[in-house]
Amino acid sequence: MNRTEYFLAIITFLLASVVYVIGDGNTPPIIVLPVLVLLYGTPVYLLIAIISDLSENSDQQ
């Protein structure tokens, strides 16, 4: 995973958080559920990607 993919993941996270903040109590669940998956899944995905990148780099040295 290179820097561009990290950057795009951060943009995705920030856009999902904007949608979550703008949404109110009347927002349909079909919109809220994917946004929540992005909000909670993106940091987990980034953490796993960073750990796998670090482990691959340590194997090469």
Q: Look at residue 51 in the predicted model and tell me its pLDDT.
A: 92
Q: Where are the domains of the chain?
A: 3-60
Q: Say if residues 40 and 31 touch (Cβ distance below 8 Å).
A: no
Q: Say if residues 14 and 42 touch (Cβ distance below 8 Å).
A: no
**Is the confidence at residue 1, as pLDDT, over 70?**
no
Angle between helices 29-60 and 3-22 (to 10 degrees): 160
pLDDT in tens, 12-48: 899 988 888 888 878 888 888 988 898 999 999 999 9
